[in-house]
Each structure stands twice: as C-alpha cells, then as structure tokens.
Amino acid sequence: MGHLFHELAGSCKATPCKEECVALSNGKPFCINGKCPTSWQINGEKKYCFVNNSLNWQAAKDSCTWMESHLLEIESEDEQTWIQIKTSGNRWWMGGTDEESEGTFHWKYSKTTLNYTNWLKGEPNGGTAENCLEMRPEGLWNDKPCYYSIYYICEKR
C-alpha cells in the first residue's frame, strides 16, 4: 500500500514510520502498521478495533483502510448496545456521512442508507458544516464537523 501521510501539523515529515503516519491532534505522529493497535474484538460475524488515538474523520477512515477494515457501520439495536458498552465515556467516529447528499446520511464504505439509527434528539442538524457521524459518550449519534479529532472504531467481517 506504500507510505500514506496525513500532514495535519507537519509532524509526519520527519517520522521514522515505515508504514502509514497520521498526525494526532496533539501534533505527535502516530504510526499505523496495518494491525489493530489494541486487539480485534469479536461480536457475531464482525470484528471491531477500538482505536483510542484521536484523528479527524478522513484520517480515521484511512487508518481503518490501512487495517483492511472500514469505519464502523451499525446495523441493529443489538450491535449498538454491544458497541455502547465498549465505548461509554468517549466520542467515536463512525462511518456515516452526508457530504455527498446534504441531510441524507449513508454509510461511506457500504454506500447504504442508515436503516438503524440512534440520533440524539434534534440531530442531525449541522447542515453543510457537520457532515460526519460520531457516537457520543452516552451512545447517541450526532453529526459533527469532520475536522474534529476523536477516537474511532474500525470493523471488518
């Protein structure tokens, strides 16, 4: 796949990364070696990687791709409940976006509509300024500006 660089703060220019480098919101480089930095957790037919390094949405999406996975796409209430137990207390990027069709969120990887949702009351409400989907600490969904750096969840089958 070669070297990929996300130069958010220029910190990846001088990094010794042999793999992908992403600049964290604190300006420090984070090397991704194609493996989940924690461990893959299994629920049903899916495997999940909970990455507690903060990246913007595009960098998180790219990081998941580097791990041969994609940003989380929640398909059911059961999956939501399982994820929520694992993530309480933090904000996490998911793979939903409305950047191509304002006001209509879809899953970026599978290109499907959100058949199951868990929106915070009044959401989504961000217009063109908030095009990426986050899960809030209590498990509710929110549209958020894509440039924010938060944790993220990758998944694969």
Confidence (pTM): 0.82
Residue 19 zone, left/alpha/beta (φ > 0; ψ -120 to 50; rest): beta
Give the pLDDT confidence score for residue 5 in this predicted structure.
41
Give the pLDDT confidence score for residue 126 in this predicted structure.
86
Render the burial of 15-45: b for 16+ CB within 10 Å, e for the rest.
eebeebbbbbbeeebbebeeebeeebbeeee
Of the candidate CATH numbers 3.10.100.10, 3.30.590.10, 3.40.605.10, 3.40.309.10, the domain formed by 35-156 belongs to 3.10.100.10
Sign of CA dihedral 141, 132, 31, 41: positive
Give the pLDDT confidence score for residue 76 in this predicted structure.
97
pLDDT, averaged in runs of 10, over the chain (157 residues):
41 58 60 78 96 92 91 98 93 97 95 97 94 97 97 97
